[in-house]
Amino acid sequence: DQQVKQNSPSLSVQEGRISILNCDYTNSMFDYFLWYKKYPAEGPTFLISISSIKDKNEDGRFTVFLNKSAKHLSLHIVPSQPGDSAVYFCAAVQGGSEKLVFGKGTKLTVNP
């Protein structure tokens, strides 16, 4: 039973364009969501997070949108850069717990 789903295993975009990574969740008790970026054989690097009381959070080129009614969040990267090429993981956490539940990841490739 996968509570956090990233349905696109891969995404390819041109440099300078927008990258949109999507994530769906099933557990309505999740109240905090995070995006991590990961390179092979390295630990995930935190990118941006959002609390369930908000519907948008922005940090530089990264914006996360949360649609609670649809149980859906997305990460927008504008403009995309070749250095953004990595695997992006969506994670969710419930009620003060430290237990992160991860999606399977989306491999983003930004072409020069």
Positions touching other proteins (CB under 8 A) are 31-32, 34, 36, 41-46, 49, 51, 89, 91, 93, 95-105
CA–CA separation, 101 and 91 (whole Å): 5
80/105 with CB nearer other proteins: 105
Smallest distance, Å, CB 87 to other proteins?
10
C-beta neighbour count of 105 within 10 angstroms: 20
Handedness of CA 72, 78, 83, 85 (dihedral sign): positive
Nearer to other proteins, 13 or 88 (CB): 88
Rounded Cα distance, 77 and 71, in Å? 20
Shortest Å, Cβ 63 to other proteins: 17
| Smallest distance from other proteins to CB 101, Å | 7
CB nearer to other proteins: pick between 49 and 109? 49
* End-to-end Cα spacing for the chain: 38
